[in-house]
Amino acid sequence: MNDHLRRLTLLLTALFCLLAGITTAQPEPTRPEPAPPSTHAYRINQSLGRGINFGNTLDAPSLGAWGLDYHPWMFDVAQRAGFDSVRLPVRWSAHADEHRPYRVSPAIFKLVDDAIREARRRGMPVVLNTHHYDEIFEDPAAHEDRLVSIWQQVAARYRSVPDELLVFELLNEPHNELTPERWNELLPRLVETVRKQNPTRPVMIGPGNYNSIAALDKLELPSDDHLIVSVHFYNPFEFTHQGAEWVGPRSNDWLGREWTGSDDERAELRKSFERAAAWAVEKGVPLNVGEFGAYSKADTASRARWTRAVRDLCEELGMSWHYWELAAGFGVWNPSQQRFNEEIKQALLGEGPLPDSPPSPAEAP
């Protein structure tokens, strides 16, 4: 028995030395991919996944002004298509008093209540933002208190919605007089306001200059554990905004611009997205692409190629995304014909390759 024990010990020692030798002889592992910290905000950002903007509804200058009302059917369509989450742009500034205490109207709250109820019923997370606060971009000093007050009211009203189902996005596309520097100064006030009643709510923040990737370097994040950073992407602008009425007559000169998916075109996109991803890893925050899309005046095959290329980059680099938008000029759904724009839907949500695009007139026999 003793012998057996000794032999077993010797065997085990030999085995241990062998394994230790193998282990130490292993080459140095190659640099590991930085694993995303498994925080609340990363987890929730991941669950936003593939999302859709309900654009041109509650963000219009007045309700219905852009021909589309918010309606629960939008959730049906979004869910049927296979989107994971919704970004709900709201022009709160058009529905709040001009004077202190800047009371938000019960009518807009009722609509947003309905949308959030609808989303909760389906377990679809919503990103609720402040959209088109045009006045603050011209005169921040006159409007910053009003924005803080709007967030006080919104944050109080929705404080009991689970963090998993509601993200607050502080302000869409700061620009003009709301410079990156001024935005950095306002941010801690806004985050503090939300935190009073929403201690762990994920809060989304975008950089200045229309949430552009190029402005990320100027963004100073307030110290807070539950932030998600969101950027918007519409490059090349002359392609995505060709014929866009709101850009002005120069956009007509861009009509006919294609996006062929050449190596150079793809490399341009990759450069931007990798820059954003590197910034986010360095800062330790999850990243969302809250808007991207190409207007319907571009040819459909180019739109589909560009849309798929952007989606692929977001997914490769671990970013959640929201396509701009569901049912208007960029729409994935055609409300008058009650059908999906299949090419765009496939580009966004399809698994297989895009169907071959028809040859351009120059290539046609």
Q: Which two tokens stand for residue 7?
A: 């032999």
Q: Is 324 in the site for ligand BGC (CB under 6 A)?
A: yes
Tell me which residues in 279-298 interact with ligand BGC (CB under 6 A). 291
Residues 52-81: x where in contact with ligand BGC by CB under 6 A, - otherwise, as a string: ---x---x----------------------
Position of tokens 């409300």?
A: 335
**Per residue, what are the HEC states of 241-310?**
CCCCHHHCHHHHHHCCCCCCCCHHHHHHHHHHHHHHHHHHHHHCCCEEEEEECCCCCCCHHHHHHHHHHH
Identify which of residues 42 and 295 has a Cβ nearer to ligand BGC in the complex.
295
Identify which of residues 168 and 324 has a Cβ nearer to ligand BGC in the complex.
324
Identify which of residues 299 and 325 has a Cβ nearer to ligand BGC in the complex.
325
Identify which of residues 286 and 293 has a Cβ nearer to ligand BGC in the complex.
293
| Helical residues (DSSP H) of 49-94, grouped into ranges | 73-81
Nearest to 146 by CA among 113, 109, 186, 206: 186
* Shortest distance (Å) from residue 106 CB to ligand BGC: 25
Identify which of residues 193 and 240 has a Cβ nearer to ligand BGC in the complex.
240
Q: Is 169 in the site for ligand BGC (CB under 6 A)?
A: no
- Rounded-to-integer distance, Cα 54 and Cα 325, Å: 6
Q: Is 173 in the site for ligand BGC (CB under 6 A)?
A: yes
Identify which of residues 58 and 301 has a Cβ nearer to ligand BGC in the complex.
58
Phi and psi, residue 339, nearest 5° = -150, 160
Tell me which residues in 128-147 interact with ligand BGC (CB under 6 A). 131-132
| Number of residues in contact with ligand BGC under rule CB under 6 A | 8
* Shortest distance (Å) from residue 136 CB to ligand BGC: 14
- Rounded-to-integer distance, Cα 149 and Cα 151, Å: 5
| Helical residues (DSSP H) of the chain, grouped into ranges | 2-25, 40-48, 73-81, 106-122, 134-138, 140-157, 180-195, 208-211, 237-240, 263-283, 300-316, 342-349
Identify which of residues 169 and 173 has a Cβ nearer to ligand BGC in the complex.
173
- Rounded-to-integer distance, Cα 325 and Cα 313, Å: 19
* Shortest distance (Å) from residue 91 CB to ligand BGC: 9
Tell me which residues in 4-63 interact with ligand BGC (CB under 6 A). 55, 59
Identify which of residues 59 and 343 has a Cβ nearer to ligand BGC in the complex.
59
Q: Is 299 in the site for ligand BGC (CB under 6 A)?
A: no
Write the CB contacts of 255 (distance below 8 Å, at least 6 apart in sequence): 242, 243, 297
Alpha-carbon torsion, ordered 233, 235, 238, 242, to 10 deg = -40
Q: Is the peptide bond before 101 cis (omega within 30 degrees of 0)?
A: yes
Tell me which residues in 220-279 interact with ligand BGC (CB under 6 A). none
* Shortest distance (Å) from residue 293 CB to ligand BGC: 7
Residues near ligand BGC (CB under 6 A): 55, 59, 131-132, 172-173, 291, 324
